[in-house]
Structure 1
Amino acid sequence: MEAPPTGIPIVLEPLVTRVLAPNASAYTYTGTQTHVVGTTDLAIIDPGPAGEAHHAALLAVVAGRPVRAIVITHHHRDHSPGAPRLAAELDAPVVGAAPFALEDDGPRSDASFDHDYAPHRVLAEGDTVAGDGWTLEAIATPGHTSNHLAFALRETKALFSGDHVMGWATSVVSPPDGDMTQYMASLEKLIGRDDRIYYPGHGEAIERPQRLVRGLLGHRKQREGQILRLLRAGIVEIPAMVEKMYVGVDPRLYPAAERSVLAHLVDLERRALVRSHGGGWESVDAA
């Protein structure tokens, strides 16, 4: 697949314009997608990493129109660092996900935290940001991160899903900030909604979102089953599990896979199905 152009505004629907940041990687796919909502006045969702080219591209899209808010889905370095400069130059508040200061206990696989992230207003479930002809409603979707929010555009039933549901791969869930129990619950929550389309932080728009979310839930449950079978077969350490579970996957993604396997194990331990043992793990029914 040919990578789409960066810095070029693409109108997805009358109220939504997408601009791709030039930060493609094994963990960001073609890059972070910033979405600009509105026509006469605007909201900017996830301004992406700090960088001259993307900053200039967003200012060109704004074209002097008032910006009501710079909206952040979560505090990863590929989503929020572009916010402070935009906020200062556009006289717009940064709103959305809560700030977070936890030091991670292992290697990050998607992007490290943006430790400078400091919103002017934290949004919770059901809080809104509005402008001329548009309303964004915060939907709490923790799991990928503890503070992750999606945003529903009420007027068109579009959902900006951030990294919770993406158009190219499953989300990395990396403890201690990432939580598989919360992630699964957030997927179940989305199934109960009637959103028409998802615009993710990475990857193409998702036109049959309910089908994809059900598939993600099924995929995670399959991973659970793989882990339990491997434990019963005596494969008890995470790196060895990843080699068996992720055959054919780019080895550069193994750190991400190891973090997600750990998240599954933590979830299974909460449910009394596994426990840590001697530097590894074991299934409770095999103990």
Structure 2
Amino acid sequence: MKHDRDFDPTYGTAVELLPGLRRLTAHNPGPFTFFGTNTYLLGTDRLVVVDPGPALPDHIGDIVKAAGGARIEAILVSHTHVDHSPGARLLKEQTGAAIVGCGIHRAARELLEDEINPLDASGDKDYLPDRELRDGEVLQAAGLSLETIETPGHTANHLCFVLQGEDVLLSADHVMGWSTSIVAPPDGSMRDYMVSIDKLLDRPEQTYFPGHGGVLRNALAYVGELKRHRLNREASILEELAAGPATIAQIVARLYVEVDPALHPAAALSVFAHLEDLAARGLVSAAPGLSLTAEFRLERRTD
């Protein structure tokens, strides 16, 4: 499920996508960021900056330059991965604008016994908002109204934002144009992610501006594809376990045979997220206990 083959990041230059809505892509390309993190500038003579990205002084300078003489009234943050939120502190230092949006970084669940969080370094532990937004709350800034949509899954504190009066949703990393979102325990939760997918499917917005990659048109059809992709992956995992007990490494080797082995660790975290959800639903069990190295088996149910 990859799109955006022709995406142009135009580093250093803000690209107008709609009147009063521009995208500025940070120069932090990588296997989990595509060409880089998208920062959005909303407004004209007054601005809201959404996801100022990593702590890259050059990118913060580009944001200030793109703002020109317009006052930045708020810095809106969707979630606390280090490619999205650390730049907020740098931008606040330069502009005095308040940091609003998601709460502090937290995991979706407590660590299991002897578990080490493989994505610990990806969390921005220093993030502290001036104001935390909750589900349904509307931010009024720069003459705009932005509705908060809580969408946990990719992270426990993930938010999307709806630009009221427009058919527009800022989807951050919950829905991306270039790839499916990473859902990796304990930071992420597959059950929360699927609930959040259904939450967006119940909304009317058809244009998404994601945290990585290009604009998504006819977005609800794409979100439906994401849901089917996850359900198909779940079904494939259950089929593997129907043949007998298996470890995550064995499942990944069979299901991701055409994927670069360098990406297998990330695939393992995705499979773990599915298995964690399946275990919570009583469909699989793990011995000696739920972990990345456990042996999983299908639960034979009689009901």
* 2:295 counterpart of 1:284: no
CA distance, structure 1, for counterparts of residue 141 and residue 51 of structure 2:
17
Q: Of 241, 252, 267, which aligns to 1:231? A: 241
For residues 230-249 of structure 1, what are the structure 2 equivalents within 5 Å?
230-234=240-244, 236-249=246-259
Query: What TM-score, normalized to structure 2?
Result: 0.90
Residue in 2 that maps onto 1:4: 9
Partner of 1:106: 117
Paired with 2:245 and 2:68, the residues of 1 have a C-alpha distance of: 57
1:42 and 2:57 are equivalent in the alignment: no
Structure 1 residue identity aligned to 2:119: R
Q: Write the distance in 1 (CA, Å) between the matches of 2:20 and 2:76.
A: 15
CA deviation string 1:238-285 (max 9, x = no partner): 111112112322223222211111110011011110011243110102
Counterpart check, 1:136 vs 2:149 = no
Most deviating of 253-262 and 215-224: 253-262
After superposing the two structures, state which structure 1 stretch, 277-286 or 164-173, moved more: 277-286
Question: Residues 5, 251 of structure 1: CA spacing in aligned structure 2 closer, same or farther, 3 A cutoff?
Answer: farther
Say whether the 8 Å CA contact 2:146–2:161 is kept in structure 1: yes
Q: What is the match of residue 213 of structure 1?
A: 223
Which residue of structure 2 aligns with residue 94 of structure 1? 99
Runs of 4+ in 1 over 6 A off after TM superposition: none
Deviation at 1:235, TM superposition (A): 5.2
Q: Percent of aligned positions with the same letter in both sequences?
A: 42
Contact 1:26 1:252 in 2 (8 A): no
Confirm whether residue 173 of structure 1 aligns to residue 208 of structure 2.
no
Residue 32 of structure 1 aligns with an amino acid whose one-letter code is T
TM-score normalised according to structure 1 size: 0.95
Which secondary structure state, in structure 1, belongs to the residue aligned with residue 54 of structure 2?
coil
Match of 2:86 in 1: 81
Contact between 2:48 and 2:142, CA under 8 Å: does it hold in 1?
A: no
Counterpart residue number, 2:61 = 56
User: Residues of 1 paired with 2:261 and 2:245: CA distance?
Assistant: 19
The residue identity in structure 2 corresponding to 1:112 is S
Distance in 2 of aligned mates of 1:251 and 1:53? 34
1:271 aligns with one of 281, 287, 290:
281
Asked whether the 8 Å contact 1:32–1:48 carries over to 2, the reply is yes
The residue that corresponds to 1:25 in the other structure is 30
In 2: Cα distance, 1:169 partner to 1:196 partner: 18
Give the deviation of 1:286 after TM superposition: 8.5
Letter in 2 for 1:230: E
Partner of 2:232 in structure 1? Answer: 222
Partner of 1:197 in structure 2?
207
The residue aligned with 1:145 is 155
Which structure 1 residue ranges, 5 or more long, are not aligned? none
User: Structure 2: how far apart are the matches of 1:64 and 1:252?
Assistant: 46
Question: Equivalents in 1 of 2:261, 2:85: separation in Å?
Answer: 28
User: Is it true that 1:123 corresponds to 2:133 in the alignment?
Assistant: yes
Q: Distance in 2 between matches of 1:71 and 1:132?
A: 12
Structure 2: tracts of 5 or more residues without a match: 289-293
- For the residue of structure 2 that corresponds to 1:35, the secondary structure is strand
Helix, strand or coil at the partner of 1:42: strand
The answer on whether the counterparts of 2:13 and 2:66 sit within 8 Å (CA) in structure 1 is no
